[in-house]
Amino acid sequence: MTTTSRILPAVYNENDYEGGTPDYNEGQLATWEGATDNDMSGSGEVLTVYKEGVAGACWDENSQVTINGASNLSATEFRCIRPAPADKHAGIPVNDGSMSGFQTTYAVAGWLILNEDHFTVHDLVFTGTINNAGDRTMLDGQSGIDDLNVVGCLGFDLTNDNGNRNFLAFGGTDCYVINCLAHNVKTIGFMYHGTDPDRGYFLNCTADGCGTAFLTWAGKLCTVKNIASENNTDNWDPNIGGTWTVTTCTDGAGVTFVGGDDFHLDSTDVQAKDQGTDVSADYNNFDDDIDGEQRTGTWDIGFDEYVAVGDLTIDVSNGISVAQTLD
């Protein structure tokens, strides 16, 4: 039985973003945030996002959204954004309308500001067409928060001119990024900027085609395990000089992916398959990958656990779809 990394509140109210009878429509993510700034005692809040359905389009959210203000939060009572089970991506960063996610032209600093303990994002895609100067970060977690969790998300095609383009940055204590992919990101795929003794963890992520795949600020402590870092200008921060605790990560070792925009492991790979470490004890005893497939034996490096056709086992609990692309 697979233990999922996609943790939901023990009890929660659920709202739909788009879909057949939506509670919130395109452009209303901030409205949902404001409406759920509630006392979480006894019940969390979940926003379920349906797919856009139009080739070349995710949902447009062109104003900054800040997650902040809910009270009495805990590890079982928190806010979460996730896709509808049938609309979850297949682990392939192609903006063809078939997957749930957001795109933005918001042009000032971070777009989705994560400033709330225990906030969780599952299995969404993030892209953008921002074209002006300065730092632009899609998911911008703040220092001083506790237990931020980003699981199974894809950030890609953040490459516009004029200034830096980043997928995910965060600070805080015991914050986790698991089974995520950064691809074709101009500046930084994944960044940790917490204040000691805060701790950040990147577990089983993949970065390909980024300026800098992983960066941590000077004097900061960040743990990376089972990271596939390939085809980036710099796999690790070249000059800021943070402290890394590194376990079984590739560093441009030549991992063989399926190819094109598909960063699942190819059957011929020898650099990531069965080269990782079991890190289930680091987070909720999880043992799933980007597709909800179970990690068994010696874990693979990166967001994908290679499973030969005919050996597929997927846990369909907690909203993980069985309609996934096989390796």
Q: Name the residue with higher pLDDT: 263 or 63.
A: 263
Q: Give the pLDDT score at 325.
A: 39
Of the ranges 96-105, 216-225, 317-326, which one carries the lowest mean pLDDT score? 317-326
Average pLDDT for residues 71-82, to the nearest whole number?
A: 97
Average pLDDT for residues 217-231, to the nearest whole number?
A: 87
Q: Give the pLDDT score at 199.
A: 78
pTM score over 0.85: yes
Q: What is the pLDDT of residues 147-183, one digit of tens each?
A: 999 999 999 988 776 667 889 998 888 899 999 999 9
Q: Name the residue with higher pLDDT: 108 or 267.
A: 267
pLDDT category at 103 given cuts 50, 70, 90 is: confident
Contacts of 55 (CB under 8 A, 6+ apart): 96, 97
Q: What are the DSSP E strand ranges found in 284-326?
A: none
> Which residues make beta-bridge pairs with 265?
257
Q: Name the residue with higher pLDDT: 129 or 205.
A: 205
- Calculate ∠ Cα 218-222-223, nearest 5°: 150
Q: Is 13 strand, coil or helix? A: strand
Predicted confidence (pLDDT) at residue 43 exceeds the cutoff of 90: yes
Q: Give the pLDDT score at 322.
A: 41
Q: Give the pLDDT score at 136.
A: 79
Average pLDDT for residues 254-270, to the nearest whole number?
A: 96
Q: Give the pLDDT score at 162.
A: 66
Q: Give the pLDDT score at 165.
A: 82
Predicted confidence (pLDDT) at residue 314 exceeds the cutoff of 70: no
Q: Give the pLDDT score at 316.
A: 43
Predicted confidence (pLDDT) at residue 315 exceeds the cutoff of 60: no
Q: Is 35 strand, coil or helix? A: helix
Using CA atoms, how far apart are residues 67 and 60, in angstroms rounded to an integer?
A: 18
Using CA atoms, how far apart are residues 35 and 28, in angstroms rounded to an integer?
A: 11
Q: Give the pLDDT score at 133.
A: 62
Q: Give the pLDDT score at 320.
A: 43
Predicted confidence (pLDDT) at residue 237 exceeds the cutoff of 90: no
Using CA atoms, how far apart are residues 132 and 264, in angstroms rounded to an integer?
A: 33
Q: Give the pLDDT score at 156.
A: 93
Q: Give the pLDDT score at 1.
A: 83
Mean pLDDT, the chain, integer: 87
Using CA atoms, how far apart are residues 124 and 163, in angstroms rounded to an integer?
A: 25
Average pLDDT for residues 265-279, to the nearest whole number?
A: 97
**Token pair belonging to 207:** 């970065």
How does strand 257-259 pair with strand 262-265?
Answer: antiparallel
Contacts of 20 (CB under 8 A, 6+ apart): none
Average pLDDT for residues 124-153, to the nearest whole number?
A: 84
